[in-house]
A and B are shown apart, each in its own frame.
Chain A
């Protein structure tokens, strides 16, 4: 019996050693390297802005290197969670403005309130965007850029279809799209306006355009509002617009395939998405591509667009917080923001705002409910599922909206 005890003791010691070394290796980091997680948008849209910020940073801090690692929207949070557990999180992370609240509430980011004044234009930051980086009165994330959604279109096919004046109402746009479809009937699968079926950013614009909303608060509780008559009117309008203008799969999302890929293959007359979509329309259509503001169902008005945007935050686990702040300063400097603006984005401060199409589109915008659990609604695909169900006709708009709304109430009020 003693041998067994002996073996057990040895095993326990061995396990202890393994556990101890595993814990220790996670803490090891390189002191002269700054790890930055940016989304792939920067990699495809403005690598020069990133390079310029890195060069400036290295000039100020000789001997330091910046390791920029590009992430995908679909899984960057899971990867970040894993690094929080393992102790090797990045020193700077880009977060979507809809993703911030949950992480700020959990205490994932460092409080940088005292450094606010060192960032360029911080007194004039865009209100809505800057608010997404503030929790409990403290600053946890700096605004990086915002983006509205615009229509990117081919001037050549619009001209050929006899569209002289760009549409200023939803009804006019639908009529124009029908003309585009008729003129391009020979192109198999041609979408006058390519819209991914479950592109909820665009679909919810209809909801807000008709006076509806995703959720509202009452007596400190969240209530799903997609089942309100206004929201249902918006969803119904989305369904008829989609059916009239898009040949995209009813279950597809706006990343698979990227709408600009469909466009560059000549299978779309126009696409809807962030202003920087013009980056990737392909050499063939580079000179015949322009953008306009998505019109509302109320003539003469823009349709409220999703005001997307990104913040940059410093995880509490970072060992290089002061350096990270310095890099942030370089990355959201006035010159960086102007370069981002030139690529079709909205810069982070009001004093930099111009009148490009994206900025005009942002005149009317909407944003997701500022709830701690919003990101769970987003990642739980409640909206996407509802849209696919509506477009496929599996349920009526009213039934699908009712289900989604109940679900949203449940998730937003979760513990």
Chain B
């Protein structure tokens, strides 16, 4: 009730007079009290429609056996927790989860490290180089994911790929007919390169903007005191950037953990097997390819729980940072 702008005393005062006055007072109280609710009502309605209802359907679906037969009739059979227990007893689920965690750490680590390094570089560059680099980043940002995947697929193509051609021409070895999709490590390595490439612009631009917030005097003072540039970065720049870096890291984790488009399209349906599943592709294969929508719903809810748990950790950390400052 703390969001109610009216003090409780007013309601008590309204108890004593005539019932008619009381009703009028209650009406005006209701009207005034509900203004904030009315203001957020459109948002609530939209969120409820686009998130709440589908989520409810998803939860209901996860307790049903819902295959092709049920899909055609628009009616599932209730099976209790069977979908959850079959997923949790599936070795493939645990292997995929572990692979996805490692994959996420690698992707987020590379994105944040390279992104921060590029942002620091931007500060030190001459004006025109900065414009060129920024334009490049914005171009990368503006390429739709599906188009980017196609371009990367062509570049890494076995038969006519420019990557193999360039590496061979640069005398880095004989890359003629090198198969970048031969092993799981290599497949996910290419996917990682694609994801990091696509994620860099957002990180660089954001960190670059945050760097403008670092007070010049602080850096100068540290330098006068004889601090090396590494020391200045560690003890002056990073603490100021920390909230921003934490937000970017947590967002990247959320995005990379559930990534689907890049691995599925780049590796291709014909080559997606349990040995290269990520959580996103696992969910798609189990739910859609095998038309077992109930099981798919259970997997997606488990993913949601994992992601929510990770978010809680970061949100709490960020709130703590806010308290200190």
What A residues does B121 contact at CB under 8 A? none
Chain A residues with Cβ below 8 Å from B67 are 106
Per the 8 Å Cβ criterion, residues 265-295 of B in contact with A are 268-273, 275, 285, 288-291
Known: A15-B48, A188-B176, A316-B72. A249 touches B269 (CB 8 A): no
Contact between A10 and B30 (Cβ–Cβ < 8 Å)?
no
Residue B159 at the chain A interface, CB threshold 8 Å:
yes
| CB of B52 closer than 8 Å to a CB of A | yes
Size range of the chain A interface in the assembly: 35 or more
- B227 on the A face (CB < 8 A): no
B24 contacts the other chain (Cβ, under 8 Å)? Answer: no
* Residues A198 and B159 in contact, CB atoms below 8 Å apart: no
CA distance A231 to B47 in the complex (A): 56
Question: Are A81 and B271 closer than 8 Å at their CB atoms?
Answer: no
> Is the beta-carbon distance between A198 and B270 smaller than 8 angstroms?
yes
A385 contacts the other chain (CB 8 A)? yes
CA distance A385 to B271 in the complex (A): 7
Complex CA distance for A81 and B45, rounded to whole angstroms? 29
Q: Say if the beta carbon of B41 comes within 8 Å of chain A.
A: yes
Complexed CA–CA distance, A248 and B273 (Å): 20
Which stretch, B132-140, B177-185, B236-244, touches the partner chain A?
A: B177-185
Contact with A along B19-43 (1 / 0, CB 8 A): 0000000000010011001000100
Are A84 and B158 in contact, with the CB atoms below 8 A?
A: no
Within 8 A of B (CB), among A235-289: 247-253, 255-257, 262, 265, 267
Q: How far is the CA of A248 from the CA of B270 in the complex (A)?
A: 16
When the two chains form their complex, are residues A3 and B30 in contact, meaning their CB atoms are under 8 A apart? yes
Query: Which residues 100-156 of B sit at the A interface, judged by CB distance below 8 A?
Result: none
Q: Indicate whether A120 reaches chain B with its CB closer than 8 angstroms.
A: no
Query: In the complex the two chains form, what is the Cα distance from A23 to B85 in whole Å?
Result: 32
> Hey, which chain B residues are within 8 Å of A262, CB to CB?
159
Question: CB-nearest residue of chain A relative to B42?
Answer: A14
A75-B269, A106-B68 known; A392-B182 Cβ under 8 A = yes
| Any A CB within 8 A of the CB of B71 | yes
Can you list 12 A-B pairs with a CB-CB distance of less than 8 A? A11-B45, A15-B53, A106-B69, A249-B159, A251-B182, A252-B179, A253-B270, A257-B157, A379-B289, A380-B289, A380-B290, A381-B273
| Chain B residues within 8 Å of A, Cβ to Cβ | 30, 33-34, 37, 41, 44-45, 48-49, 52-53, 67-69, 71-74, 157-160, 176-177, 179, 181-182, 268-273, 275, 285, 288-291
Known contacts A11-B44, A381-B273, A385-B273; 6 further A-B pairs (Cβ under 8 A): A18-B49, A18-B53, A107-B69, A251-B181, A381-B272, A392-B182
Among all A-B residue pairs, the 7 with the closest Cβ atoms? A106-B68, A253-B270, A249-B158, A106-B69, A14-B45, A18-B49, A249-B179
Measuring CB to CB, which residues of chain A are less than 8 angstroms from any residue of chain B?
2-4, 6-7, 10-11, 14-15, 18-19, 74-75, 78, 81, 84-85, 102-103, 105-108, 188-189, 198, 247-253, 255-257, 262, 265, 267, 316-317, 376, 379-381, 384-385, 388, 392
